[in-house]
Amino acid sequence: MKRWLLAALILLLPLASASTSLHLEWELGEPTDVEHRYVEHFPNQMMQCTECDATNDGDVVVNWWRHSETTGSDWPDDDANLRAGTNGIELNETDSLINGNGEDTRQHLVDLTGTLSVRSDYEDQYYFVANLSFSPQVELRDDALMQILFIETDATDQHGREVPHLVRDMTSDAGFFTSANKTSAVDVEVSYEHLFAAGVELSEDAYGWRVVFIVLGAEDNTTGQPGVISMYETTVPTSTEDLTVLDHLPPLAMIIVAAFIIGSVIRGSLNQEQGLPEIRALWKDSKDPVVLVEILAKKKLITTEGCEAIAPWSMRGGAKRAKIEPGQALTFEVRLKKWHRQGLLIQLKMDVEGLGGWTQNIRLPGRKDEERSVEVEA
């Protein structure tokens, strides 16, 4: 048996140098001061924003582009149309959104800590990893949502249009606990294919990329539109100075592989101990928009508290409250009123026995011929 194990290790050695390489790694850092507003602009196809609000020094400003279909621009617009639709901003309108809810002031109610990294499995194919801890300071409403935005400081499309602080991509699939002082491990990986489609280039030589973490929500038992309750911004490093670089070091590649495997086993073990559910969602093959959702309970009793589709999508009826015993699975349908071109965002609300409330955000493409699996990040 030992000989077989030795032979297997020898066979793995040539693969070591092709394993995951860690190119850049840095800490998330401190939150953006609450005195600095989060300002989202929605300009028209002429890059004008006549109805947009004036900004102040220190504001974190982003621009959403929604007009690629009518202009032939190579800038992505799916996330922008989803964000505008969620806030009732029509395509022929220009507008600004302050702090997510139109309020001039905001609170800091969620602490984020952890590391960010740029990695690659293959040469020149870079992807993004965030290993974070999510800690609410107060009890949050179930509609809390975390967005990760990839922003190009100075963007130019193939026709020569220029827009500053362009949102290239928005990711919001992370799940977390909403209970006060209950920390969730939030591990997010944004694939090379996903970033490439959005025009995001995170190589060591790429300049002008920012990543902004936005938590939208509100304190429990409050009413009104959710606003920004946490904001962190960081710039993707453009130099390997003072950073861990493991490229072109084959002797260390096996260590990376081993650490990755061990880390995966440990995370899987912790997730099972905590009893967090596994979730899968996909479009049903039907004429009407119907999503099939499957929830697999692990070691804890799971109680579903319902779900909500974010505008412009709306549900036809509601999801019934149900209990899922440990080791059991539940499959149910979420029926929607009509198809939309924008991607679908569903907030699935659950209670995990002994751990409290849990909100899982599920995103699916707007076209019914595509399907995507969603797994709880924790």
Give all strands (DSSP E) within the chain, no chain letters.
21-27, 38-42, 60-63, 95-98, 110-122, 125-136, 145-156, 162-171, 176-177, 184-190, 209-217, 227-235, 278-283, 290-296, 302-309, 322-324, 329-335, 344-352, 356-364
Pair 169, 150: CB distance under 8 Å? yes
For residue 219, what are the contacts with CB-CB under 8 A and spacing of at least 6? Answer: 109, 138, 139, 140, 141
Which CATH code fits 276-364? 2.60.40.10
**pTM beyond 0.85:** no
**pLDDT tens digit at each of 378 positions of the chain:** 445 444 544 454 444 444 557 778 899 999 999 999 999 999 999 989 988 999 999 999 999 999 999 999 999 999 999 999 989 999 989 999 999 999 999 999 999 999 999 998 888 889 999 999 999 999 999 889 999 999 999 999 999 999 999 999 999 878 899 999 999 999 999 999 999 999 998 876 677 899 999 999 999 999 889 999 999 999 998 654 444 444 434 444 545 544 554 455 445 444 445 567 888 888 888 888 888 888 888 888 888 888 888 888 888 887 778 889 988 889 888 988 888 877 888 888 888 887 778 788 888 876 544 444 444 333
What is the pLDDT, as a whole number, of residue 243? 43
Query: Distance between CA atoms of 201 and 182, rounded to whole angstroms?
Result: 35
Residue ranges covered by each domain of the chain: 19-243, 249-274, 276-364
The amino acid at 28: L
What is the pLDDT, as a whole number, of residue 256? 54
